Amino acid sequence: MKVEVQQQQQQEEEEEELGLEPMSPSAQYLKSSVLSLTILGVLECQGPIDDSLAISLVKDVFLPINPRFSSIMVAGKKGVKKWKKVEVHVEEHVKVPIFPDGMAAEYYDDCFADYLSNLSTEQLPPSRPLWEIHIVKYPTRHAAGNLIFKLHHSLGDGYSLMGALLSCLQRLDNPLLPLTFPSRQSAADADRRKSVLRRVPRLFSGIWHTVYDFGWSLLKSSLNEDDKSPIRSGEDAVELRPIATATTTFSIDQIKQIKNKLNVTINDVITGIIIFGTRLYMQKTSEGSGNSKSTALVLLNTRAIGGYRSVDEMVRPDSDMPWGNRFTFLPVPLPKLTPEEIQNPLVFVKKSHRIIKRQRNSGSVFLTGQLLNIISKFKGPEATAKYIHGTLKNTSMAISNLIGPVEQMALANQPVKGLYFIVAGPPQSLSVTMISYVGKLRIALNMEKGFMDPNKFKSCIEYAFDAISKAALLQS
């Protein structure tokens, strides 16, 4: 009788295993006991939000996008995490907060900031699919209402989740036409067309840079810790602390003018602005900290993105732009702030260009990716998560960006005025995220609440943009 029961249990386990979808290694280490990252995407609506349509939109539009939105994480037969399809109770995932009525926009700004901060520290319940939608109907200074998409990073990276979000939206001017995106051609693309002879010297320098950068990366995850500074508290469990978020907007045309004047890439310009503004904030907050040892981790998507693919295309087995997490970090040491560089802020753009170009010519990014795969294979995703957590904790900030559509979007015929995103859960006091939309670059500054001053940091970034823009226009 006991044998029959065991056989029946084994048969049930095998049948259950057949209904489970394997999880990628990256999905497993992004949702572990050591590391848990969540993406919060904010859509700013031009008019009041009608939340009565939310449930039907989620059921009819959002859930069918990808099976992961209807799945939970479970431990498979050998303890390996897998996706299990479950019934989704949409009402549990759609939240509509209630604030006092009839207050000024500034009051609702504070309410929204506190709400976003609380959302960033709350873990998604593991007993249901790892996403939520929050509908904040109160008008702030930036929007008549806000929609917050809270999605766990294990569901996909920014590229995948942006593709999913865009599947829910349409062009405002003509819903029958597809959204279009800025060109992603870069200086690196032009480099590939150069002659072989010109690339030979770079081959040898690239080998040296690979050895140096990979060794530096290994040390950064364990021993080589950044200095404590006004942007790095260095405290344990920073990821569990409340956050403060500020946003600012720059003209992409102005960024392109700087790019053309300096013969660099748009990413070089943006990185230079962020680094210069960060160093200014550090120096203003604590004299001498503008020269402290600090590192930014610049997020790189490993896909050769030419534009977003539909979700149907991304989930195909042979897709050239597959769904999932396909990213790596590029460590960029922050140049020190000297009196000469304050007078000539273009130095920060040029240094960012040299550093990023050199490290792109290094194979360190590839080797780091392979190292993560090896750690995951032989020691498991928890060990990989610990390695990534160490790298993040020992650095000062993270920078990531996404491309958004050129045309204005609409959700259920409601115009989307603006959008931005933040990443919650990294063990850092500061992260900067950016997305382009209708000719503007929206920058979100996400920082440890009570440790950093969001308004002061925002003003430093805006000053850096103006200073670099003016200096570039004066350059012959």
Please tell me the number of Cα atoms within 13 Å of 156 on its side-chain side: 22
Contact in structure between 300 and 328 (CB atoms under 8 Å)? yes
Q: What is the mean pLDDT of residues 339-355?
A: 86
- 297 or 318, higher pLDDT: 297
Distances in Å between the Cα of 209 and the Cα atoms of 130, 196, 213, 329, 363 are 40, 19, 6, 16, 8
Looking at every residue in the chain, the average pLDDT score rounds to 83
Q: What is the model's pLDDT at position 201?
A: 47
Place of tokens 């590839």: 366
- Residue 282: strand pairing partners: none
Q: What is the model's pLDDT at position 162?
A: 73
Q: Report residue 206's pLDDT band, with 50, 70 and 90 as the boundaries.
A: low
Q: What percent of the chain has pLDDT over 90?
A: 49
Please tell me the number of Cα atoms within 13 Å of 119 on its side-chain side: 30
- 201 or 448, higher pLDDT: 448
Q: How many other C-beta atoms lie within 10 A of the C-beta of residue 7?
A: 10
Q: What percent of the chain has pLDDT over 70?
A: 79
Q: Report residue 114's pLDDT band, with 50, 70 and 90 as the boundaries.
A: very high
Contact in structure between 120 and 112 (CB atoms under 8 Å)? no
Longest dimension (CA), the chain: 90
pLDDT over 70 (residue 209) = no
Phi, psi of 327 (to 5 degrees): -145, 165
Q: What is the DSSP code string of 177-234?
A: SPP-------HHHHHTTS-HHHHHHHHHHHHHHHHHHHHHHHHHTTT-PPPPBTTB--
Q: For the ranges 99-103, 315-319, 347-351, 361-365, which has the lowest average pLDDT?
A: 315-319
Give the pLDDT confidence of 32-91 residue by residue, as tens digits.
Answer: 889 999 999 999 999 998 888 888 889 988 898 888 899 999 987 666 889 999 999 999
pLDDT over 70 (residue 185) = no
Give the pLDDT confidence of 354-397 residue by residue, as tens digits.
Answer: 877 776 666 666 777 778 778 888 888 888 889 889 889 999 99
Q: What is the model's pLDDT at position 80?
A: 80
DSSP secondary structure letter of residue 399: E
Give the pLDDT confidence of 401-457 residue by residue, as tens digits.
Answer: 888 889 999 988 889 999 999 999 999 999 999 999 999 999 999 999 999 999 999
96/137 Cα distance (integer angstroms): 8
Give the pLDDT confidence of 258-283 residue by residue, as tens digits.
Answer: 999 999 998 899 999 999 999 999 99
Is pTM, for the whole model, over 0.75? yes
Strands 430-437, 397-402: pairing is: parallel
Give the pLDDT confidence of 121-152 residue by residue, as tens digits.
Answer: 999 999 999 999 999 999 999 999 999 999 99
- 214 or 17, higher pLDDT: 214
Give the 3-state secondary structure of residue 90.
Answer: helix
Helix H or strand E segment including 376: helix 364-379
Q: What is the model's pLDDT at position 84?
A: 93
